[in-house]
Structure 1
């Protein structure tokens, strides 16, 4: 249709072009399209005509201007698109239009199309240098957003970059991390899938396979892709593919039984009504352009009079295909003859189906966008509708400039373009669901709006149906999720979604699902059995509330009571010969020191504190030195007493009671001095031991200075050895007058206990170190008590007839 200004349109109205072999001796035939007509794209082209007629009848948009159109069939082929682009680029011959008052009839001010991304790219490169704006209704490749290569390209359909993000978020929403991918081997499929895979990788989604093919590939290639899908382990397949390639793939898959697959599709095929015949794809989910309503459009589509049908070869072809007849011709071909009066309202095909107007609305908006840009160019006064100058020597570059700024609302649909020529990305989430009749229908179950805040773009507001009619979300993972307490270990040579779940090492936890690493518990904590929580370690020390502590405390108190009872017996019989003969003063001092030795072991039981740690080691060291000093004093007295019997010897005057007291005090003072230096320089202190047991804390007293500790023990050992040597030398003296043998036995027991104490102390773990030390104290104390006083108490209590001076003086 002619007009003051013309809007071009390019649609793939047929599936194929007629192939010619040129002999280079004559001009090739004009391009001819073959195959069945595409009813859906015919509807798109009719939507463009409908919009232009609406604009021509409008008093607000382009008043006084008549728009015409040139619509070309690209045959869904690159040569067809390029041919159409060259036709639209032809300008008027200036020779025939020299006057100033002639409208620029036939000048193309903008182009609507193409439907495919690759064909749109070729067309943009041809008409771009002429600054002719191109607004596509169905070219979604993100690569077309590059304004350096395609400065004249705009689109009312969202870019695939938004769709790739939306598909990745959809897959992530259902927890699918193991998917297959199939795409068209075209700019649409390759660029769209590349964007999807990049986004999916960021979302932690792994791809088992990624296959591509083109509709012109050999059948063996399509077979191979179908076999890959059948053999795969991923039940979810993301198909970024055109409707033509998807139809070929599904036809191949339908030839042989295949495992159920959950299809996730792009807007190119999921909203296509023609695809619903593949019933095994029930449950498919994908995005489609939002549904819309165009008032009066259905009536326009159905308004095909016999005259209109007969005057257009395209409509004639459509009519004959739709009703399987020959229009106005004989039926010699085997088809019925028709005259154009058939009832088109009874026709069930994509041309008459206006229930899912998605891409159709994109065509509608594209025409209005070009019209608004032209209006802003020809009608600069926005307050008047009489200033549209159809004789304006307008150039297409001005329309291109104004197209970048258009912003309008048509039938409730906002239209505007960003700096890259893209419109706002909004999708409807479509689900193929079986109805009560068993047929499949498309149901809008949600939407995706890229303008919403992050994390809220995808909204699902209806129940979904998945593959095989199930309503529960199917699982599609390479490996099951790792529960808390485990960590992921990647399987060699496989994607990151394929891993093994390994229990966290001892002392470490993971409190999140699919944790990559285990975290060590704090120093005072330990994992539970599941290794997903850290609990405080139990604190352990030798307590009065446990059996071992009670037994040791009982022996300690019992030993102290025993020495006190012995002291009472000795005190009551202090005038008896056997008590007098054994140096009663040192005996009472020895009993006192032994009592203190028994009681000092109590300081080792209970919660360690600063004072208890200092007290336990120093009290034990000092009382034992006092004890050994008394024994040593008694040994020296016995030894010197018999040496004093030699003629002329006056040695006993140096070992009287004052000297004995001084000796004991001197030996004890040295130990006191050692302990004082130890406490001043580096005293013992309470500490938590984490090394003995991993699962519990041992409260112990750290020695502070190990030298101080071993100096205290060494000094006790030195005195014990010295006492043993003197006792051994005096062992052959008359039995009735000395304790040498008893002292020898007691010192042998003492030395044996403390010699075995050293390795036992060093090797005992935790609280048993303290128990070994208490045991050594009690064993040596009991050894001294029994060896030194048991024989005497036995005579005093049970054999009083022997407790006489005559008996003691007896040599028998």
Structure 2
């Protein structure tokens, strides 16, 4: 069986200045996932039959020179590098799986691009296009980086976190992260409380005041008003964060109660720090992660690892670090007293150091190996179809750049059932998982998938989260933290920007009178519709109640009962006068006019019943017209009575011709003439612009006034003015006739009644104009009742007194004697 070597470069990450072996624990799973994938492929006869894959593992040491050196040695297979000299073509690499950061991937691509060797990168942020000469041969086993930015923004928006800190490395990649994310956050209304650019590891020792820099960052992280911090969590940043948290413990001595929101780089892999300080500060962290699934058989593969294996150059060092023991033939024998037995169980290692379930990074490496294998299978299958030479010549005739078109079109389902394919930019088409990191006192941890972010979702929401599955930091009492610059403006208030402060910081001002805001953090208040009014809190609109003088309220009941009492009193007086119609006091001054006046007064007292209750079209037309006509009849009757007194006196003078004007016809004509003028005015009013039911939505703030719109205000005042004119004429005539020496002179009583009448209606006008709603109607009713009661009292009560209580005075002799006196 022919052997074709397939070279894969996996770059390990570690802390500069510390032996690289001290950080192997977490990254060791990446190597095992690579080995596991190659093992599965070599055992699978459906992929690359008769061909076995091999690999090399190199460490970049996060150093450009070492990365270039290792890349060249991968190409030329020499410990010393000779440019443009290929030694042992059979072992030439067909593809490289690059590092976990863009810097390492860029260094590798600089050399591999010259030889058109495809590189499958694992970095979340792609190198700048201007830095890559042969971008055609670059593929990324992660989604487009813009999707990660979108996921971070959507995650913050989901929890309404609008006051956050951002931390990134102080290099080009970190600066790009800060600028891009800050811009996207501001577009969505999220402010940054602070942005921190961490020191580059290579420059820390050269910075004299790096302690002060880290101390200032530590103070920022302990600020209680910033509860959420977004971290571009690559290995460089994590190292600096560890130093900062050390200062928090030693110098600041305040808790770091934060919700950490991490990018998909995040993983617990810095072993020395966590062994000293624990991982509780990151309890409840939320992070993005490239979607991963559990690979069948992977955990069994981990259990089968043997520290005595000679094929694995990493496992012995891993074993000593993981279990704190040493093998007698290694360099750590003198540093530890405990000896490794090889029987230790990998599942007992805390999750912060090593996880038994496949991590997101390892899952990407696993898929990358399979992607290359499927591309090779497709390439060889294509050559076989075209009759290409087989065997060793066939393998040697394959060059790495021939793999490119097959990688571009690759699409397959892995053993976990997930589809793996690249888009037109050579980036993985995949979702992001939302991970909640739960830590425990024994330094173990649990990763809980609480949601996902599908960047290609056609639905409105790309992010879905199960909030009930999230474990928050104990400081937040198991509730979703609130991350705002200041408390939100409750309904009833609006936001007012603070001077020289970010737009997320504002004050809350109460809405003006008459306006409301019914949501939190509104910028403007608004008025309620005309049929609604604001409540006291100014956060809701309530429906306005109808305002009219009702029979169901005390004021309406009182005025209605009062009108009926006066009506009954008038009817009683009318009955008394009818019963005693032949007596001198009733006959005096024209009995028919007296009856007419009493009937008109009775109707005047009944008029207010038209004003009580909800007005409608017919009642609106009857109200003022009935009032105007009935009062005109009453005033006409009084005027006729007064003129009768004057004419009676004038007729007694020698040679007077006034006797012909005395009699029923003249008085009846006077009453009819005056009343018909008012009736004519009312007819004109009803025919031209009659009263109608109207709703006044603005007169009262909390009620809709149901009223009778007078239609033509001029006609209303004409009718009211005509009644006033008759009353004024009555008053003037009666005033001058009050002392006429006549036996049956009623002028003095009419004078007093008109004085009361005019006083009531003169005060009515300003009161009527100054009141609103049902009280306007009540004022008019009161004026009708008061003026009518004044006429009834002044004119008829003295006569009733004589008729009922002093009948002996109701004789001609007594009346003549009183008249002479």
Q: Shorter chain as normaliser: what TM range?
A: 0.7 to 0.9
User: Gaps spanning 5+ residues in structure 2: where?
Assistant: 205-209
Does the CA-based 8 Å contact 1:618-1:675 persist in structure 2?
A: yes
Q: Helix, strand or coil: the match of 1:105? A: helix
> CA offsets per residue over residues 481-535 of structure 1, 9 Å max, x none?
4555555445444445444455554444555455555554332233445555443
CA gap of 1:85–1:740, structure 2 versus 1, over 3 A, is same
Residue 672 of structure 1 corresponds to: 679
State which of 473, 477, 483 in structure 1 corresponds to 2:483. Answer: 477
State which of 229, 235, 245 in structure 1 corresponds to 2:227. Answer: 235
The alpha carbon displacement at 1:718 in A equals: 1.3
> Which has the higher mean CA deviation after the structures are superposed, 709-718 or 772-781?
772-781
> Which has the higher mean CA deviation after the structures are superposed, 796-805 or 253-262?
796-805
Q: Helix, strand or coil: the match of 1:744? A: helix
CA gap of 1:11–1:143, structure 2 versus 1, over 3 A, is closer
CA distance in 1, matches of 2:777, 2:665: 38
CA distance in 2, matches of 1:483, 1:68: 65
Q: Helix, strand or coil: the match of 2:90? A: coil
Residue 207 of structure 2 corresponds to: none
Residue 47 of structure 2 corresponds to: 61
Does the CA-based 8 Å contact 1:204-1:497 persist in structure 2?
A: yes
State which of 248, 263, 266 in structure 2 corresponds to 1:266. Answer: 263
Residue 24 of structure 1 corresponds to: none
Does the CA-based 8 Å contact 2:350-2:442 persist in structure 1?
A: no
Q: Helix, strand or coil: the match of 1:109? A: coil
State which of 727, 730, 735 in structure 2 corresponds to 1:723. Answer: 730
CA gap of 1:637–1:129, structure 2 versus 1, over 3 A, is farther
Does the CA-based 8 Å contact 1:10-1:73 persist in structure 2?
A: yes
> Which has the higher mean CA deviation after the structures are superposed, 148-157 or 416-425?
148-157
State which of 228, 238, 241 in structure 2 corresponds to 1:246. Answer: 238
CA distance in 2, matches of 1:337, 1:650: 150
Q: Helix, strand or coil: the match of 1:755? A: helix
RMSD: 4.3
1:493-512 to structure 2, matched below 5 A, reads 493-512=500-519
Q: Helix, strand or coil: the match of 1:736? A: coil
Does the CA-based 8 Å contact 1:302-1:345 persist in structure 2?
A: no
1:434-513 to structure 2, matched below 5 A, reads 434-435=439-440, 438-448=442-452, 450=454, 455=461, 457-460=463-466, 463-468=469-474, 472-473=478-479, 475-478=481-484, 479-513=486-520
Does the CA-based 8 Å contact 2:308-2:342 persist in structure 1?
A: no
CA gap of 1:354–1:660, structure 2 versus 1, over 3 A, is closer
Residue 9 of structure 1 corresponds to: 9
State which of 407, 418, 422 in structure 1 corresponds to 2:423. Answer: 418
CA gap of 1:414–1:382, structure 2 versus 1, over 3 A, is farther
> CA offsets per residue over residues 236-269 of structure 1, 9 Å max, x none?
3222121343133223312322323233323323
Q: Helix, strand or coil: the match of 1:415? A: strand
CA gap of 1:69–1:424, structure 2 versus 1, over 3 A, is same
The alpha carbon displacement at 1:618 in A equals: 0.6
CA distance in 2, matches of 1:564, 1:468: 86
2:75 corresponds to 1:74: no
CA gap of 1:738–1:64, structure 2 versus 1, over 3 A, is same
> CA offsets per residue over residues 775-801 of structure 1, 9 Å max, x none?
211222122222222333333334444
> CA offsets per residue over residues 61-105 of structure 1, 9 Å max, x none?
3345565656544220234434555666779999999xxxx9953
Residue 563 of structure 1 corresponds to: 570
CA distance in 1, matches of 2:236, 2:603: 102
State which of 564, 578, 598 in structure 1 corresponds to 2:605. Answer: 598
CA distance in 2, matches of 1:381, 1:503: 77
Q: Helix, strand or coil: the match of 1:355? A: coil
> Which has the higher mean CA deviation after the structures are superposed, 673-682 or 586-595?
586-595
Q: Helix, strand or coil: the match of 1:115? A: coil
CA distance in 2, matches of 1:513, 1:690: 28
Residue 26 of structure 1 corresponds to: none
1:135-174 to structure 2, matched below 5 A, reads 135-137=120-122, 139-141=123-125, 150-174=135-159
The alpha carbon displacement at 1:634 in A equals: 1.8
Residue 29 of structure 1 corresponds to: none
The alpha carbon displacement at 1:695 in A equals: 1.6
CA distance in 1, matches of 2:604, 2:282: 90
Residue 97 of structure 2 corresponds to: 112
TM score, norm. by length of structure 1:
0.84
CA gap of 1:688–1:488, structure 2 versus 1, over 3 A, is same
2:718 corresponds to 1:711: yes
Count of residue pairs brought into register by the alignment: 783
Does the CA-based 8 Å contact 1:692-1:765 persist in structure 2?
A: yes
CA distance in 2, matches of 1:253, 1:217: 19
The alpha carbon displacement at 1:626 in A equals: 0.8
CA distance in 1, matches of 2:66, 2:255: 40
> Which has the higher mean CA deviation after the structures are superposed, 43-52 or 694-703?
43-52
CA gap of 1:16–1:428, structure 2 versus 1, over 3 A, is same
CA gap of 1:227–1:716, structure 2 versus 1, over 3 A, is same
CA gap of 1:561–1:115, structure 2 versus 1, over 3 A, is closer
CA distance in 1, matches of 2:399, 2:592: 132
The alpha carbon displacement at 1:208 in A equals: 1.6
Q: Helix, strand or coil: the match of 1:254? A: helix
Q: Helix, strand or coil: the match of 2:136? A: coil
Does the CA-based 8 Å contact 1:614-1:685 persist in structure 2?
A: yes
Does the CA-based 8 Å contact 1:183-1:241 persist in structure 2?
A: yes
State which of 365, 376, 379 in structure 2 corresponds to 1:377. Answer: 379
CA distance in 2, matches of 1:423, 1:484: 45
> CA offsets per residue over residues 357-405 of structure 1, 9 Å max, x none?
3223322322332232233223216889995762575554432121111
Does the CA-based 8 Å contact 1:430-1:444 persist in structure 2?
A: yes
TM score, norm. by length of structure 2:
0.83
